[in-house]
Every structure is written in structure tokens, then in C-alpha cells.
Amino acid sequence: MACIDIDSLAQYERDAKEGRADALYNLGLAYSTGQGVGVDMVAAHKWFNLAAVRGVEAAKSWRNQLAAEMQPSQIAEAQKLAREWLNIFK
């Protein structure tokens, strides 16, 4: 996996706000692996969930793998954050 730098993360965030599924997926990868950011399972689950909603099949697999390692409260928080994000950036 290529190293994700700060500029790439900023671009992914801009693209995600425009609804680009690949950007949502790449943000999930960044947060799940600690590429350019600290590992954050809740944030990674959120981004993978949003990518999955946009039809990225690989995101579903990653989301499910993360969920197996998370507490129910963490999953609930990630789902809440994803819903909040969708309310802002439909």
C-alpha cells in the first residue's frame, strides 16, 4: 500500500465532500492503517460505511473486518458519525 501524505488526505476529504466513493474508501484505508493519520477504528468504519453506501464492494469487507474488532459502542458511534456526515454532505 502506498503511503498517504497530508496533501493526499486533504484532497480525499475534499473529494469525499463531493460524494466521490473512491475518496471515502481511501479515507477508510488511511484511518484503518494509520497512513498519514493515527489509527482510528471509529473513523475508519465511518468512511468505509459511507463508501459501501456508494457501492464500493471492498469497503463492505473492510467495514466488516473492523466491526469484528470493535466494541458495539464504537460501531454505534461510527454509524452515528456516518449519518451526521450524510446529513451535511449528501
**Residue 89: which pLDDT band, with cuts at 50, 70 and 90?**
confident
Q: Which pLDDT does position 30 carry in this prediction? A: 94
How far is the CA of 50 from the CAs of 3, 72, 74, in angstroms?
Answer: 22, 18, 16
Q: Which pLDDT does position 36 carry in this prediction? A: 85
Q: Global pTM?
A: 0.92
**Residue 67: which pLDDT band, with cuts at 50, 70 and 90?**
very high
Q: What percent of the chain has pLDDT over 70?
A: 94
Instruction: Kindly list the domain boundaries of the chain, sorted by start residue.
Output: 6-88
Is the pLDDT assigned to residue 3 strictly greater than 70? no
